[in-house]
Structure 1
Amino acid sequence: MTNKDTIELTNTRYRLGYHVSARSGWINDPNGFCFFDGYYHVFFQHHPHSAEWGPMHWGHARSKDLVHWEELPIALTPGDKEDEDGCFSGSAIEKDGVLYLFYTGHHYYDDGDKDHFWQNQNMAYSTDGIHFTKYENNPIIAKEPGDNTHHFRDPKVWEKDGVYYMILGSQGEDGVGRAIVYSSKDLLEWEYEGPISKANGLKTEGFMWECPDFFNLDGKDILLLSPQGIDAQGKDYLNLFQTGYFIGDYDYKTATFTRGEFHELDKGHDFYATQTTLAPDGRRIVIAWMDMWESPMPEQEDGWAGALTIPRELRLKNNHLYMTPVKELETLRAEELKHDTTTVMKELCLIKDALSNELLIDAPLDKSEEQELIISLKMSENDLVLLTYSNKTNEFILKRNDKDDLRYGTIQSCDKLSLRVFIDTSSIEIFINDGELVFTERFYTEEKPEVCLSVSEKQTISYTVYRLENDAVSYN
């Protein structure tokens, strides 16, 4: 990835230890998440020449265990006729020992208006999973269908019963978001099947559906996507753009998806543009961009911006997607620092110098009295991240010191609260009750913060603290 014009990293104060990022420069959406030739591969939208969004390349990393990642050369560089202004998001699939990438070519018109563009779909391929050749007959889909606007991107490809399918995020000519599907027998010639689902309202389900992913999980079909333009509704849909899912049933013969309502997947400030893959053992693994367009990114001053979340396993239970850290992340545990069962009277410091840690907390709940538990990540008496739980409402409220807006989430009534928290240099990911509720957040401090637990009434808890490896990503 060496390039004389590549921006240099000038400070490592916020650099993450076990999250995929770029050596330097900007990244956003994960792309092409797959398992090929003994490795998990993840690509990502990348601008290597600055810490700002720019003409999108595909950065690339691979891992044998979803934990330890190595940087690989940039896989796709824009500038050819089919992708002159950017290689936008897409996916990967293996066929006959060849890894195929599908991506959107982005093109601006000559009027200087960044909202005036057109998009097509392209393919590249590799036999070694490292060096990619763009298909000589690109584009494979030259233009959007006639009932679509110019928003036409982010292909996700899968195979079923010998036929390949491609779902794309799009906007119908009526101005509302939708997902459209194409089919192919050879990955080269694609036939338009039509829209499989569309927003039921501009403000309720969005004007554009980005980064669609489609898969079957526990007997149901899941459409995972990032709608743009949903208005906040009470304590829901509070980010600029959302990421969530529809659960339903897909009829391949009629290309129709009968589905329920939209649910957010992660309730934090910094979670967008998910992509999943099927692990060799059958697990459905998801990863996302661990930032948001409206989020502050102080690391830009240091020559980089953006990272990906830890990989998470998806499970479907009670018509709800549960999201838990993949089991492989247990190998990140370098040392057990604490393991105790104790009674908290008011406040307990769980981690003194949090830098690269995993924290497990189990707290029995007594429904006969009101209880409030507060987990705080703080420095010098200033709360960076404050998460408050009330057993009266089963609600969590998250507050960040650098944002004015709160985030909310609820869980089902329960007799025990279980939390699993991953802390990296500038990120915290909180998994509640086996992933029933998840918050993903970035934070910024040059100190080593503390993690404390506060209670409103005397509370017995069990907790374990691990020190994690902080050099799990290698840059060549």
Structure 2
Amino acid sequence: MNIIKNERYRQNYHIIPPQGWMNDPNGLCFFKGYYHVFFQYHPYSAEWGPMHWGHVRSLDLVQWEECPIALTPGDPEDKDGCFSGSAVVKGNKMYLIYTGHHYVEGTNQQKFWQNQNIAVSEDGIHFQKYDGNPVIAKSPDDNSDDFRDPKVWYENEAWYMVLGSQANNKQGRVLLYRSENLFNWKYMGVLAVADPELNEGYMWECPDYFELNGKKILLLSPQGIAAEHGMFKNNHQTGYFILDSNGEKSNKSVFHELDSGHDFYATQTFMTEDGRRVMFAWMDMWETEMPEQSDGWAGTMTIPRELKMHEDKLYTYPIAELKNLRSELLFSQNKIIKELSIDSSSHSLEINAVFEWSKIKTNIYFNMNDRNKNRIISIEFNPLKEKAYLWRKGKDEEREAPFSLKQQLELKIYIDSSSIEIFINNGESSFSERFYAEGELNFVFKSEILIKQQVNVYCLNANR
């Protein structure tokens, strides 16, 4: 196993690998009193490698307990990797449905093929791969070799699966399967496909299909969407389509980006016991620098976020349980001022800020600075353009997100050792960002004229 050489960037309350590499969240479910989160994991180095399934569980979605590795590659059905997938509960057992990855011999890992498999557990900790794997041996004839990331759910007395894929014409698409028993699957056709006339991507990964407030949502991570109008600037994107009432592939909305930050990919959702749709994402991005790799690890999850539908827009907002992390009120102020500066030796913080816009709609600015007051991240909230403009130190600095102009600008911000997540107007828009700075942090809120600023800052407990 790999070892941790330095703790400087290790997250305090986010899910991170015990060591080694982490990417996509997998297998979100509730089973025998615990919430379970699995993840793509390479324990032997801080680089991507043959994928295992790491595993944590929690009683409350806040405090996480490390569990043994759930899936290890190397069997005939998953010789070169246990790729992403999902989990369901049937009877008194948990079933993991995942993609087996296989390199074609003699191609120097340039060619591959993929299948779909099942592993079963009675205790949610120890898993046995199904003797009849694979349950789906190959992709449809008109598909490329990209055929992965099964998300399974139960509806109308049957099991359904969506799979991320690519058609032979290099257009991303999502495939739909149906089963009576989880083990025998029938191909139902294409649920949705990228329009070749639009900017919708050449490969669709990590699909998730669910209904929220009467809207059918297809959440996914397309590859190959070109940047346009200040959006889609990451190497790969994550967002959603709203499908028509009967889910026909020919009738879908435009693609909506779900988070506007540099570090957000491969979402997965599940239903909590009280009926909320909760989501995790990998808070990193392919082909970007990850300084923690030199310390023996790489990757982190976002905080868990509840999804809500407001008209035709999907909002994401921190789950209410995160309030249980609060240990003390570090700072509180409610004044009419132009500028506010806060210093903190802690990197585990929750900031709640409300700004009252007067008749003159002034720009509002947020800066996070290092101990030398050098800017790490800044955001300009422009009420006339109804846009938030983010800048982050490093390469490819700028991102932007829309927001609706109201009487107030409301911000909820979560900071950990090497991440910041900013939620605008109750989750209408958000930015998810990694950053790397040691020592004290400085936060500045500023406006161009005097306005009422209400700011509360909480220190948060570590969960590891």
Rounded to whole Å, the distance in 2 between the matches of 1:81 and 1:174 is 30
Aligned match of 1:3: none
Question: What one-letter code is carried by the residue in structure 2 that aligns with 1:66?
Answer: L
Q: Is the 8 A contact 1:72 1:130 kept in 2?
A: yes
- TM score, norm. by length of structure 1: 0.95
Counterpart selection for 1:12 from 3, 7, 16: 7
Give matches, 1:37-436, under 5 Å.
Answer: 37-201=32-196, 204-249=199-244, 251=246, 256=249, 258-345=251-338, 347-366=339-358, 368-379=359-370, 380-436=372-428
SS of equivalent to 1:223? strand
CA offsets 1:337-363 (integer angstroms, 9 cap, x no match):
122201223x31134334100000000
Describe the shift of the 1:183–1:257 C-alpha distance in structure 2 as closer, same or farther (beyond 3 A): farther
Q: Is the 8 A contact 1:354 1:423 kept in 2?
A: no
Q: RMSD value over aligned CA atoms?
A: 1.2
Question: What one-letter code is carried by the residue in structure 2 that aligns with 1:408?
Answer: E
SS of equivalent to 1:331? helix
1:437 aligns with 2:437: no
Question: What one-letter code is carried by the residue in structure 1 that aligns with 2:31?
Answer: F
Greater alpha carbon shift after TM alignment, 77-86 vs 330-339: 330-339
1:26 aligns with 2:21: yes
Q: How many percent of aligned residue pairs carry the same amino acid? A: 49
Structure 1 gaps, min length 5: 1-5
Rounded to whole Å, the distance in 2 between the matches of 1:370 and 1:142 is 59
Aligned length: 463
Q: Is the 8 A contact 1:212 1:224 kept in 2?
A: yes
1:207 is displaced (CA, Å) by 0.5
Rounded to whole Å, the distance in 2 between the matches of 1:244 and 1:103 is 22
1:378 is displaced (CA, Å) by 0.3
SS of equivalent to 1:301? helix
1:134 is displaced (CA, Å) by 0.2
1:118 is displaced (CA, Å) by 0.3
1:460 aligns with 2:460: no
Structure 2 gaps, min length 5: none
Rounded to whole Å, the distance in 2 between the matches of 1:293 and 1:411 is 27
SS of equivalent to 1:73? coil
SS of equivalent to 2:218? strand
Q: Is the 8 A contact 1:354 1:451 kept in 2?
A: no
Question: What one-letter code is carried by the residue in structure 1 that aligns with 2:341?
Answer: C
Q: Is the 8 A contact 1:30 1:43 kept in 2?
A: yes
Question: What one-letter code is carried by the residue in structure 2 that aligns with 1:432?
Answer: I
- TM score, norm. by length of structure 2: 0.98
Rounded to whole Å, the distance in 2 between the matches of 1:373 and 1:293 is 32
Rounded to whole Å, the distance in 1 between the matches of 2:256 and 2:396 is 24
